[in-house]
Structure 1
Amino acid sequence: MPAQRVSFRVPTGELEGVLHLPDVKSVGGCAVLHGFGGHPDQPHIVATCVALADAGVAALRFAYRDHQPPRMTLETALADTAGAVRLLKAHPDVPDRLALVGFSFGGTVAAIAAGRDSRVKAAVLAAAPAMAGAKFTAWTNDGKWKPVAELSRTRARVLLIWGSRDTEVSVENAERYRAVLTQARVTNRFVTIEGGDHDFNPAAAREQMAATVSEWVRESFVGAPGDFPIPSPPAHLAIGGLVANPLRFSVDDLRALPSRSLLVTLECAGNGRAYLEPPAPGEQWHLGAVGTAEWTGVPLRVLLERVKPQREAIEVLFTGADRGVPKDLGREIMFERSLPIADAMSDDVLVAYAMNGAPLRPEHGAPLRLVVPGSYGVASVKWLDRIRLMDRPFDGFFQKDRYVIDGEPLRSIAPRALITEPADGASQPRRPLVVRGKAWTGRSRIDLVEVSSDSGYSWHPASLGPEVSSHAWRDWTITIEPGERSELSILAFATTAEGEQQPTKQVWNKLGYANNAARPMRVIIG
C-alpha cells in the first residue's frame, strides 16, 4: 500500500508524518497518536496504521513537538493533533470522515479532541489515563484538563481497548470513561486483548488489537456488513393500509397535536450476548446496550384514531427509512417491524420527535421514531417513514428471521439488575462497601433486588429507589460488610411484581438475544 511522507503546520512551525493510504478508495481518515515519550515508529503504532489502511482508512502517524518528557504537554499535543486533522480534511484522497486513535497519553489527547470536535465519528482510547499520575508530567488534575468530562460530549462511537497484562494504566481508567459515556448514551465498547501489555506486545496481541481498532473505525464510517447507515430523513409520515382515511403528517403537524412525555428505558435485544458460551453471532454487547431517556411525541393511538382503522386490521406495520442488504439475505430491504393492533393502541406508544427536551438527533431516529415502552429496542423503529395497517401477521426478515426466539418475535424486556458501582476488579480498603445499580423489566415492575457477595451462597435485599416511571429503570443500593474476606464476588438478582425472577445462569439461543443472566463482579479488599 502507498505511504506518503507529509508535513503540516502547527503553531511553532511544521511537523512531519507518514500517511498510509489504502490501495482502494479511502472511506475516511484517522490520526493515530502515540503515548508519552513514545514515537510514531513504535510497532503498535505502525501495525495500527497498516491495519487501518487495509480496512480502507487513510491513517496518519506523526511525532508531537518536543515529544520526549518532560517538555511535551497536553496543550501542545492537542494543537499538533488539530494540525493533523486539518491535513486529513484537506487531503484530496481522504473523504470527509474523521477518526482519532490514541495510545496511552495519546488516548487522553484523543478523548479531549473527540469531545471538542463534532466531526469525529470514531474515537479509540487504548490504555488511556483518565487522570494524571506520577508518571505523567504532561498534565495535572488541577481542573484545567478533564478528559472524562470532555469525552462525554462526543458524537463519536468510542472504543476502549486495554491489554490484559497492562501494569502501567489500570483498567479502572476504562471504567471511568465508560461510566460517563454510558450515562451520556454515547455508543461505546470495552475490549480486553488477552496477553497484551501496555504497548500490546507480544506480536499476536498487537495483531489482534490492530484488527479490532481498524474494524471499529471502518464500521463507524460505513457500518458493519448488513448494518444500515443513517438515511435521509423522511419529509412526512404516511399512514395507510386498511384504513378509511389515509393521512400524511409532517413533524410540524405532529408538534401541533397534544403531546405526551414518558421516561423510558430502552434495551437492545443483544445486550449481554458477549457472555454467551458457545458464542452467538451478532454485535458482542456486554452490558452497555441500554439507556433511559425522556421521549416526547404524539400517542400513536391519536393518529390511528384519525385514520380510522377498518375492522379487518389486526397488525400495524412500521417502516423506517433505513435500507440495506443483510448478508444472510442477499437483497436490499427496508427495516420493518409490526405490533398487534391492541398493543399499538396503548396510550404509552409514542411517535416521538424529541428526546430529553431536544429535537431527535439523526442517530436516535430523527425526525420521527416510534417508542414502544417495555419492548426491546428493535420495536422502537427509527427514522419512521410509513405506518400500514394489515389483516395478517407480518412475516418480514426482522420479524421472522431476526429478533426472534424459537420463531416468536421478541417483545417485552426480561428483568435485569445491573451493578453500576463499584467497577469490576476495583480495589478498596477494608471498610463497608456501598454497591449501587439499576434494575428494569418490560413485563411488570421491579419488586425486589437481592445481592450476594459470596458467589450466590447467600442473598440480601437491596434498598429500592423511587419508581420515577413505570417504564424506566429503578435505582437500588446496598451496603456490604466484607469482614475478613480479601475478595468479594458480587451478584445482583431482580424479581418482578409478577414473581418472574432473573436467571443466574445464561439464557442461550442461537442468535444471542435476551441473555439477562446475573453477572458476577469482583472487588478486591485490602
Structure 2
Amino acid sequence: MRRERGIDELYRDDPERADALVFGRRGLLKGAGLAAMGAAVGGAIPFAGNLPTGLVPGAMAQAAAGPKILKMDGKADLVLLGDRPLVAETPEYLLDDDVTPTDKFFIRNNGQVPEPTANPDAWELTIDGEVNTPLKLTLGELKKRFPHVTYRLQLECGGNGRAAFSPEARGNQWTNGGVGNAEWTGVRLRDVLQAAGVKPSAVYTGNYAADPHLSGDASRITLSRGVPIAKAMEEHTILAFAMNGQPLPPVHGFPLRVIAPGYPGSASAKWLTRITLRDREHDGAGMTGTSYRVPKTPMIPGGKADEKDFVILESMPVRAILTNLRNGTELAAGTRKVALRGHAWAGEETVKAVDVSHDFGQTWQACTVDAPPNKYCWQNWRTEMTLPSAGYFEFWVRGTDSRGRMQPAAAANWNPQGYGGNAIQRVAVLIKA
C-alpha cells in the first residue's frame, strides 16, 4: 500500500508539485491548500494571503533528519558542513552574545590543522617582496617591538548565505552562521609593513600559512590569498595572537593569524608564516578563476562562467540576523508582544537600518540600531513586534547599509561558487491557540 506524503515531506522532496497542490492555478493559498499548509506548520496562518507562491514556510525549510552536529572538545553544538576540510557554522540562535565566545565561533579550514607548536614565541613570520628591508621576526619579537591593539572585529566566510542560491552553487551550504564577532588582540599589520619599508611598487599582499594540503603533498599550497595595500595599511587589519583574551586556539590559527575585517574570511590567513608584497594583484592559490570572485555583470543562474568578467570579492554585503529566537520556536498561548534582537554588519560599510516584517514582507517595522564600539564590529539591533493573534508567523529580517544597499528577498547575483548570498533571514514561530 502506498503511503501519501505529508505536505512538509512533499515540499522537501518536490517543491514544484507541492506548490501546484497547495496554491492551485491562480497562486492563491486557500481551501484545502491552506488547510494542508496550516496542518504542516501546526496552526493557522493569519497572513496566508501574503505568502508568495513558491516560498516554502520557514518551519518546513530543513529536512526532517536535521543538521549534523559537530562533536569537538571546546566547541558548542555547531552545524557540521564538512569534515575534510573541517567546516562548521554557528546556528543564529547561538550568536546572541555581543562578543562571540570562542566555543561558538564558526570554523572554516581549507587544509589540515597543523600540529600546535610547543614554543609559540619562537614562531617565525617573514615579510618580504616589495619592501626595502625584508624582515624575519619571531612572535616574541613581534609582541615586544610593536604596540598591541584590541578590537571587536566581525569575521565572515565569503560563502556565508550560499544555501540560498538557486540553483545550488558549489561549496559548503552555509546559511547565516559563517560569522563571528570576537575580541582580537595583536599588532597592526601596517606597523610591521612600515618597519620593513613599503616600496611604491607594492600594490597587493600575498599571505602564506603552515596548514598542510589535504593531499598530504608538502609541495602544494593550501591557500594563499591577500588584500590590496590600502586594506593592509588600514588600522583594523591586524596580526592577531589572542582571541577573547586567550592565545588563539589551534583551529583558529594558533599562534598567529591575519584579521582583515570586512573582507571574506579567506583573507584572514590562519597559521601565518609569511606575507610577501606584490607589484601586482596576488595570484596565489584561491585568487584566480572564479575562486572568491563574483561576476561584474549578472549571469544566468546555473550558466557557464566567463572568468574574464569576474572580479575579486572584497567588501562583504550587508546582512542582519535575529539571534534571540530559534527557527521553529513555539510561544505560549496569549502571546502578542515579542521582543526581537540580533546583529547586523556590512563589510567595509556600516549598517544604516534594520527592518523586520511579520506578514511575509507586506509591511516592515524599523528597529533600533546601535553604533559599533569600533569599525568592523557588528551592530546590535532590537525591536518589539505586536502580533494580531495565535498562529504561524515568520519574522523576516532585512539590513540596509550606509550606501542604501538593502538585503534582497532571494539571493542575488548568482555565481558558480555562491559568494555574497545575503538573502533576508526568515525565522518561524508558532503561537499556540
Q: Which residue of 1 aligns with 2:315?
A: 412
> Larger relative contact order (C-alpha < 8 A, sep ≥ 6)?
2
The answer to whether residue 363 in structure 2 is matched with residue 479 in structure 1 is no
From 243, 246, 253, give the equivalent of 1:358. 246
Q: Which residue of 1 aligns with 2:204?
A: 315
Residues 513/176 of structure 1: CA separation in 2 closer, same or farther (3 Å cut) = closer
Give per-residue Cα distances to partners, 1:349-393, cap 9 Å, x unaligned.
111111111111111111111111211211111111001111122
Give per-residue Cα distances to partners, 1:286-311, cap 9 Å, x unaligned.
22111111111111111111111222
The offset of 1:176, in angstroms, is: 7.3
Percent sequence identity over aligned pairs? 32
Q: Which residue of 1 aligns with 2:301?
A: none
Q: Which residue of 1 aligns with 2:194?
A: 305
The offset of 1:330, in angstroms, is: 13
From 51, 74, 85, give the equivalent of 1:155. 74
Contact 1:323 1:335 (C-alpha < 8 Å) held by counterparts = no
Q: Which residue of 1 aligns with 2:103?
A: 186
The offset of 1:326, in angstroms, is: 7.4
Distance, in Å, in 2 between the alignment partners of 1:271 and 1:313 is 31
Q: Which residue of 1 aligns with 2:424?
A: 518
3-state DSSP class of the match of 2:393?
strand
Residues 444/525 of structure 1: CA separation in 2 closer, same or farther (3 Å cut) = same
From 346, 362, 365, give the equivalent of 1:441. 346
The answer to whether residue 123 in structure 2 is matched with residue 235 in structure 1 is yes
Distance, in Å, in 2 between the alignment partners of 1:188 and 1:334 is 22
3-state DSSP class of the match of 2:223?
strand
Residues 270/175 of structure 1: CA separation in 2 closer, same or farther (3 Å cut) = closer
Contact 2:105 2:180 (C-alpha < 8 Å) held by counterparts = no
Contact 1:400 1:408 (C-alpha < 8 Å) held by counterparts = no
Distance, in Å, in 2 between the alignment partners of 1:476 and 1:362 is 32
The offset of 1:468, in angstroms, is: 2.0
From 353, 376, 392, give the equivalent of 2:264. 376
The offset of 1:188, in angstroms, is: 8.5
Q: CA RMSD in A?
A: 3.0
Contact 2:134 2:196 (C-alpha < 8 Å) held by counterparts = yes
Distance, in Å, in 2 between the alignment partners of 1:331 and 1:251 is 25
Contact 1:266 1:292 (C-alpha < 8 Å) held by counterparts = yes
Distance, in Å, in 1 between the alignment partners of 2:272 and 2:348 is 25
The offset of 1:178, in angstroms, is: 8.4
Give per-residue Cα distances to partners, 1:219-271, cap 9 Å, x unaligned.
x9xx99x6333355582001111222111111111111211111101011111
The offset of 1:175, in angstroms, is: 8.5
Gaps of 5+ in 2: 1-68, 81-90, 296-309
Q: Which residue of 2 aligns with 1:502?
A: 407
The offset of 1:513, in angstroms, is: 1.3
The offset of 1:420, in angstroms, is: 1.0
Give per-residue Cα distances to partners, 1:270-294, cap 9 Å, x unaligned.
1122232222221222221111111
3-state DSSP class of the match of 2:163?
helix
3-state DSSP class of the match of 1:263?
strand
Contact 1:325 1:331 (C-alpha < 8 Å) held by counterparts = no
> Where in structure 2 are the equivalents of 1:49-198 lying within 5 Å?
123=71, 154-156=73-75, 158=77, 183-186=100-103
Give per-residue Cα distances to partners, 1:7-37, cap 9 Å, x unaligned.
xxxxxxxxxxxxxxxxxxxxxxxxxxxxxxx
Contact 2:263 2:315 (C-alpha < 8 Å) held by counterparts = yes
3-state DSSP class of the match of 2:227?
strand
Distance, in Å, in 2 between the alignment partners of 1:175 and 1:445 is 20
From 350, 354, 359, give the equivalent of 1:454. 359
Distance, in Å, in 1 between the alignment partners of 2:397 and 2:404 is 16
The offset of 1:177, in angstroms, is: 7.2
Q: Partner amino acid for 1:509?
A: N
Which structure would you say has the larger Rg? 1
What TM-score results when the alignment is normalised by the length of structure 2?
0.70
Contact 1:320 1:382 (C-alpha < 8 Å) held by counterparts = yes
Residues 348/178 of structure 1: CA separation in 2 closer, same or farther (3 Å cut) = closer
Distance, in Å, in 1 between the alignment partners of 2:262 and 2:105 is 23
Contact 2:317 2:420 (C-alpha < 8 Å) held by counterparts = yes
Q: Which residue of 2 aligns with 1:288?
A: 177
Give per-residue Cα distances to partners, 1:30-63, cap 9 Å, x unaligned.
xxxxxxxxxxxxxxxxxxxxxxxxxxxxxxxxxx
Give per-residue Cα distances to partners, 1:108-154, cap 9 Å, x unaligned.
xxx9xxxxxxxxxx529xxxxxxxxxxxxxxxxxxxxxxxxxxxxx4
Give per-residue Cα distances to partners, 1:481-509, cap 9 Å, x unaligned.
11135221211111112212111211232
Residues 188/373 of structure 1: CA separation in 2 closer, same or farther (3 Å cut) = closer
Q: Partner amino acid for 2:134?
A: P
Distance, in Å, in 2 between the alignment partners of 1:175 and 1:374 is 19
Residues 177/478 of structure 1: CA separation in 2 closer, same or farther (3 Å cut) = closer
Instruction: Report the number of matched residues.
Output: 330
Give per-residue Cα distances to partners, 1:147-193, cap 9 Å, x unaligned.
xxxxxxx42574669xxxxxxxxxxxx9877879x95343699xxxx
Q: Which residue of 2 aligns with 1:344?
A: 232
Q: Partner amino acid for 2:135?
A: L
Q: Which residue of 2 aligns with 1:425?
A: 328
3-state DSSP class of the match of 1:470?
coil
3-state DSSP class of the match of 1:323?
coil
The answer to whether residue 369 in structure 2 is matched with residue 464 in structure 1 is yes
Q: Which residue of 2 aligns with 1:247?
A: 135
